[in-house]
Structure 1
Amino acid sequence: MFENFKKFSYELAGRPLVIETGKIAQLSNGSCLVRYGETVVLANASASASPRDGIDFLPLSVDFEERLYAAGKIPGSWNRREGRPSDKAILASRVIDRSIRPLFPKDLRNDIVLSLTVMSVDPDCSPEIAAMIGSSIALTISDIPWNGPIAGLFVGIVDGEIVINPTAEQREKSTLELTVSSSKNKVVMIEAGANEIDDDTMFDAIMLAHNTITPLINFIESIQKEIGKPKFAYDSCDIDHDMFDKISALVSEDVKSALNTDDKRIRDDRLKPVYDKVFEALEEEYPNSKAMINECMYKLQKQIVRRWLLDEQRRVDGRRMDEIRPLAAEVTLLPRTHGSGMFT
């Protein structure tokens, strides 16, 4: 019945990692069931057939979905249904989003949904890490254009020793809470909290995670070679490069002059006549192209600010690379609240 069913096994931090495909959610673009210890996560990746109109970003949605039954609990009392996502689930979705989003093509505008359903929880085997690995595998074996794979790990420090994917008991004693995701060649994302960890120890922890992830990436690539689908062709939503070159030649110096202030309101006021100049100059050659012109102007501003950072080591508001903006904090602003504060 399941002629496409495949099972792949790996050992991660001394615990079995088993990937199953070809049995569940076979109509999605890519799907896998991740078993890490006794933690089980179903990862599904789906994409629309055409790009969404009128947007200048990748419409990617990552949904990390917890289920009470995964921990052996049943909703009771008057509430018989699952509730809204917990803060932990929202943060897990964001960490995974930050890990995978930079690896999609910059000109892709198709809707992409990544559903990560936690079906069983082993406290010693993090469902967040299983979901991150599952999301990478689902995208890698799918036909969705993506420049992965990546993988992720938790890192802790227990009794002075760096530990990969610490158990629940070890996490209670750990002085470091570090999440690292990386590709085969470089670290992609870091999320960290620690109790006064020195720089060298933090660096060693990050590099140990990266070196542990590298063979895991090889494992994911071996799965792709066996069952991966060819990536589909998509309608590019990249800017018109001829238009960009003309705009750059026309107003590059004007944009530099407009951006060269530490007051955002003045910057915006200076840019308005520059935009008007561009619209007037290109109206005949590029009619009804206001959205594309705006996109080219945004790219031009981004390019100029990046060159300032790399060539002159200064930010758009004039600050040096090692200089932070002025900060201010106030408390007790509201009379009847339990507490209030403002940080700017």
Structure 2
Amino acid sequence: MATAQAVIDNGSFGTRIIRFETGRLARQAAGSGAAYLDEETMLLSATTAGKQPKEQFDFFPLTIDVEERMYALGRIPGSFFRREGRPSEDAILTCRLIDRPLRPTFKKGLRNEVQVVITVMALNPVDLYDVLAINAASASTQLSGLPFSGPIGGVRVALINNQWVGFPTHDQLEDAVFDMVVAGRIAGDDVAIMMVEAEATLRTIELIAGGATAPTEEVVAQGLEASKVFIRALCVAQQELAAAAAKPIIDFPIFLDYQDDVFEAVEAACGGDVRQALTIVSKADREARLDDIKVTVIAELSARFEGREKELGAALKSVTKKCVRDRV
């Protein structure tokens, strides 16, 4: 059994300890690990992958499943058959929260079905488990031998009394002006932020009226920088766990949507037109113009890339995405 831990130092608000463990539970899975928050909240994550690729899919078939269990709170279902109910709204939203940073870290072109199942084994009612689930899913995937460019660290930070607090409790969030979930991974000497989900709290207006710091753009930017320290600590802990117990990376077949020669040809043929189309304010007119560009490009290049028409459409989508990002 291997373990590693990250310490989240919140200054006057105390510390939170996130501990990762593998080798004791769900050993039949490709990768499995438990994540603990202060030894009171425990999540078990298991990652598995299909043996054969789904060549007919034009997307990566990744499934995230969060399973809440009544026994996590020491309760028994009240139905006659004592069965668990359907996923709650929190569980569904947590699945989405995990999917967003996890999906782009898999190797592009992977078509094997991958399933990550996170089970809430124990839960302290004062804590939220969603950001802990991001870390648990990343840890089990890091151990699985899949082509995964992680690990990913996820943290919720809340602005309380002019301080950004990591992994706040429900009670602490009641005194927060603003909170956000931030996920990212280590990139050299910095942390690359991959996902942000932010929101004001129910008492934001009341607290600001009472003299609390308003969540301006500058203040939120400081929160993002504060979250990087926590994310780095979480990623380092997962790296230590992977160094001790990760499986060798398996060579999976890759099915790219297009080859580089197609992308270069499409970008050369319509890059300027796409950039001009993106300046059109009206959405209907902009999309109509982009549709015209697609028809023109396919007509011009189909003879050159005979039998690879699907690659032309996919490459045009990537060119459009690249142009949008260049404009941000």
Find the counterpart in structure 2 of residue 66 from structure 1: 68
| 2:302 counterpart of 1:296 | no
Q: 2:55 aligns with which of 53, 56, 60?
A: 53
Shift of residue 168, structure 1, vs aligned partner? 2.4
| 2:294 counterpart of 1:275 | no
Aligned-partner Cα distance in 2 for 1:99–1:254 = 28
| 2:221 counterpart of 1:203 | yes
Find the counterpart in structure 1 of residue 197 from structure 2: 191
The change in CA–CA distance for 1:300 and 1:224 in structure 2 (over 3 A counts) is same
The change in CA–CA distance for 1:278 and 1:10 in structure 2 (over 3 A counts) is closer
Find the counterpart in structure 1 of residue 232 from structure 2: 214
Find the counterpart in structure 2 of residue 20 from structure 1: 21
For the 8 Å contact 1:255–1:301, the answer to whether it is kept is no
Equivalent residues in 2 for 1:1-344 (5 A)? 5-13=1-9, 14-37=15-38, 38-78=40-80, 80-184=82-186, 185-194=191-200, 195=204, 196-239=214-257, 241=259, 244=262, 248=266, 252-253=269-270, 256=273, 260=277, 262-265=285-288, 267-268=290-291, 271-272=294-295, 274-283=297-306, 286=307, 292-303=308-319, 306-307=322-323, 310=326, 313=327
Structure 1 stretch 194-203 or stretch 251-260: which is displaced more?
251-260
Aligned-partner Cα distance in 2 for 1:66–1:245 = 44
SS in 1 for 2:149: coil
Unaligned runs of 5+ in 1: 287-291, 314-320, 322-344
**Which entry has the higher C-alpha Rg, 1 or 2?**
1
Find the counterpart in structure 2 of residue 325 from structure 1: none
Find the counterpart in structure 2 of residue 332 from structure 1: none
SS in 1 for 2:7: strand
CA RMSD of aligned residues (A): 2.7
Shift of residue 191, structure 1, vs aligned partner? 0.8
Aligned-partner Cα distance in 2 for 1:159–1:271 = 53
**TM norm structure 1:** 0.78
Shift of residue 78, structure 1, vs aligned partner? 4.7
Amino acid at match of 1:45: T
Q: Percent identity?
A: 28
Shift of residue 247, structure 1, vs aligned partner? 5.1
Shift of residue 72, structure 1, vs aligned partner? 2.1
For the 8 Å contact 2:20–2:241, the answer to whether it is kept is no
Unaligned runs of 5+ in 2: 10-14, 205-213
Count of matched residue positions in the alignment of Structure 1 and Structure 2: 300
**TM norm structure 2:** 0.81
Provide runs of 4+ in structure 1 moved above 6 Å: none
Aligned-partner Cα distance in 1 for 2:121–2:139 = 17
